[in-house]
Amino acid sequence: MSQENVEVVRRLFDVFNRGGPDAVIEAGFLSPEIVFDPSRLGIPGVGILRGQEAVRAFFKEDWFGAFPFEEWEIHIEEPVSDGDRVIVKSSQQGRGASSGAAAGLELGNIFTLRNHQVVRMAVFGRPEEALEAAGMSE
């Protein structure tokens, strides 16, 4: 099952790169009861979110609202499988919508899956933090 979970997460990022968070939700990657935790990113007023609509609103209002980019794309390193969890290091690049300036960042994620859907996703400001939280410090 763990390799299947890795493939689900890979496909999730492919769909995100093609169509954004709406496409991920419409494709059924996120459980209707998804628990999304971006609280470690330090975005003021953002805590743990529950449900697909809360995730959709986060990306529209908080993420892409605060960071208006064009050509945003996420590349992931080899995901690490840990039972029902998949730990991912990602690098993200884009161009500022108004400035055209190139920008990028690296994040870490822990995805928890059940029945081929993400039921929990935690986002970390540094990839190492995700590994530490998963008990897999390098």
Give the count of domains, the chain. 1
CATH of residue 23: 3.10.450.50
Residue 70 covered by a domain? yes
**pLDDT value for 63:** 65
Confidence band of 69 (pLDDT split at 50, 70, 90): low
Q: What tens digit of pLDDT does each residue of 85-98 get? A: 999 999 988 776 67
Residue 18 covered by a domain? yes
Residue 87 covered by a domain? yes
Residue 66 covered by a domain? yes
Residue 138 covered by a domain? no
Domain hosting residue 113, numbered range: 2-133
Structure pTM?
A: 0.88
Task: Give mean pLDDT, residues 59-67.
Answer: 67
Kindly state the tokens that stand for 64: 């892409």
Residue 73 covered by a domain? yes
DSSP states along 24-72: HHHTT-EEEEEEEE-GGG--TT---EESHHHHHHIIIIIIHHHS-EEEE
Residue 98 covered by a domain? yes
Strand 117-124 vs strand 30-37: parallel, antiparallel, or unpaired? parallel
Q: What tens digit of pLDDT does each residue of 1-36 get? A: 589 999 999 999 999 999 988 999 999 999 999 999
